[in-house]
Amino acid sequence: GAGVSQSPSNKVTEKGKDVELRCDPISGHTALYWYRQSLGQGLEFLIYFQGNSAPDKSGLPSDRFSAERTGGSVSTLTIQRTQQEDSAVYLCASSSSTSGRVPSFGPGTRLTVL
Amino acid sequence: AQRVTQPEKLLSVFKGAPVELKCNYSYSGSPELFWYVQYSRQRLQLLLRHISRESIKGFTADLNKGETSFHLKKPFAQEEDSAMYYCALHSGNTPLVFGKGTRLSVIA
């Protein structure tokens, strides 16, 4: 079946602009995660949605970062007033109890802030 | 707090040599441990998980609660094993916590 998809695959923006990154999880997966992957830093957890529960936002690095999940499916990660240090690959993953709660990852969005 | 440590950023081995990618974790409860792999230009994918106790692509990993380790091993490295490897910890309803990764380079 279809895996996790993300768009765009690449995004180049200017410092100070806002960006939106989209994630389409695997159908039926109740949990959705955003991670940031940067050189030397590994995978940093950003935010986690589980069903109808309040999201775990403990990994968001600043209030410029926010995420929504509409209808328990698609999620959008928004970064306002982007900074050069925001440049990274943003990964989305989803999981469900039937998948053993093992997250399946999308291909990522490579964000470059000039 | 949960923490995963992968002490080696880069590991280079010759083809046919044994491989061990180290992973240590910090967690007071009973965690679930995973290894994920990312090949060049591919998405991150699950390699194995400790509760499965299986061998995938010749790799095995044993959870050692006394040493709080989950090292990944393979007796004979192949060139196609060259990739980025991440150790991860999961507990309850918390999201996966990843180490910083180890890049394995297998030299022909």
Please name every residue paired with B56 in a beta bridge, in sequence order, or none if there are none.
B59
Distance from CA of B22 to the nearest CA of A (A): 15
Q: Per-residue pLDDT for A91 more than 90? A: yes
Question: By CA distance, what is A41's nearest residue in B?
Answer: B100
Task: Nearest by CB to B44, from A48, A59, A105: name it.
Answer: A105
Question: By CA distance, what is B9's nearest residue in A?
Answer: A40
Distance (Å, whole) CA A87 – CA A67: 17
The pLDDT value recorded for residue A99 is 66
Q: Per-residue pLDDT for B108 more than 80? A: yes
The answer to whether the CB atoms of B86 and A43 lie below 8 A apart is: yes
pLDDT, tens only, B38-96: 999 999 999 999 888 788 899 999 899 899 999 999 999 999 999 999 999 988 778 88
Please report, rounded to a whole number, the percentage of residues in chain A having pLDDT higher than 90.
78
pLDDT grade for B27, boundaries at 50, 70 and 90: confident
For residues A19-28, average pLDDT: 95
Please report, rounded to a whole number, the percentage of residues in chain A having pLDDT higher than 70.
96
Task: Nearest by CB to A102, from B46, B86, B93: name it.
Answer: B46
Distance (Å, whole) CA A71 – CA B83: 36
Q: Which residues of A touch B39 (CB under 8 A)?
A: none
Q: Is B81 helix (H, G, I), strand (E, B) or coil?
A: helix
The pLDDT value recorded for residue B52 is 82
The pLDDT value recorded for residue A24 is 96
The pLDDT value recorded for residue B50 is 86
Using alpha carbons only, give the angle B102, A44, A71 rounded to the nearest 5 degrees: 130
Distance from CA of B92 to the nearest CA of A (A): 10
The values of phi and psi at residue B66, to 5°, are: -65, -40
Q: What is the dihedral of CA A25, A29, A33, A37, to 10 degrees?
A: -50
pLDDT grade for A1, boundaries at 50, 70 and 90: low
C-alpha dihedral sign at B69, B70, B71, B74: positive
- Top pLDDT among B32 and B92 is at B32
Q: Which of A44, A66, A63 is nearest to A55 (CA)?
A: A66
Distance from CA of B18 to the nearest CA of A (A): 24
pLDDT, tens only, A31-61: 999 999 998 778 999 999 988 888 999 999 9
**8 Å CB contact between B104 and B83:** yes
Q: Which residues of A touch B36 (CB under 8 A)?
A: 105
